[in-house]
Amino acid sequence: MISSKIEAALNRQIDLEGFSSMYYLSMASWCEVKGYNGIAKFLYHHSDEERMHMLKLFQYINDRGGHAVVPGLDAPPKMYASIHEIFETILSHEIKVSNEINALVELCIQEKDYTTHNFLQWYVAEQIEEETLARNVLDKLRLIGDDKGGMYLLDRDLQSLSVTVHGSSKED
Ligand code: OFO
């Protein structure tokens, strides 16, 4: 059984993961409208991943005798200046998520909830991957600069990365 303090903190994380899913969805839509279909596909898949992160928390809270609550979400921004701004936004958002996960881990230690502490390790590892991915794309964008051909290739690469990471087919 989880304490009400841990239950409330995990429900706040549900909120954040749900917001992340909507945030990626909004960025995917902007990219699609601007013709970056590969990057859009990557971001649509990532939005699904964030929803999965949220659902994992639902399952855990309810399995441990708590009550997972559907969040009322704020609308994410809908306009972005550039692909560069999108990936800067992703990196700073993921750093914020990492900080929240770390605070949750710290709370588990204070509350001596080692089961939830163990459950959260998956999120700790996931955050390292997500921050690294955003940094790698930003490095590529810096190399590309204003080169349109480079942007075309990045768009294509992210579409195939989406296939590798998310295991979808090229046809979907
Ligand atoms: Fe963006 O990762 Fe969820 O936690």
Q: Which two tokens stand for residue 105?
A: 């881990």
49 C-beta closer than 6 A to ligand 1: no
pLDDT of 160: 86
What amino acid is encoded at 159 in this protein?
Q
Q: If you take atom 1 of ligand 1, which residue's CA is the nearest one?
A: 94
Q: Which atom of ligand 1 is nearest to the CA of 54?
A: 3
pLDDT of 161: 79
94 C-beta closer than 6 A to ligand 1: yes
pLDDT of 73: 86
> How far apart are the C-alpha atoms of 120 and 98, rounded to whole Å?
11
pLDDT of 165: 58
Residue in the structure block whose two tokens are 């204003």: 146
pLDDT of 37: 96
Alpha carbon 1 to chain centroid distance?
28
pLDDT of 169: 41
53 C-beta closer than 6 A to ligand 1: yes
Q: Which two tokens stand for residue 87?
A: 């990936």
The pLDDT tens digits along the chain (172 residues) read 999 999 999 999 999 999 999 999 999 999 999 999 999 999 999 999 999 999 999 999 999 999 999 999 899 999 999 999 999 999 999 999 999 999 999 999 999 999 999 999 999 999 999 999 999 999 999 999 989 999 999 999 999 877 665 554 433 4
**Domains within the chain, CATH numbers bracketed:** 4-166 (1.20.1260.10)
pTM for this entry: 0.91
Long-range contacts (CB closer than 8 Å, 24 or more residues apart) made by 105-114: 107/5, 107/6, 107/9, 108/6, 111/3, 111/5, 111/6, 113/2, 113/3, 113/6
pLDDT of 168: 46
Report the alpha-carbon angle 171-25-89, nearest 5.
120
pLDDT of 21: 97
Residue in the structure block whose two tokens are 């942007």: 151
What amino acid is encoded at 3 in this protein?
S
Q: Which two tokens stand for residue 31?
A: 């990219």
Q: Quick one: which of 151, 137, 159, 38 has its CA closest to 86?
A: 137
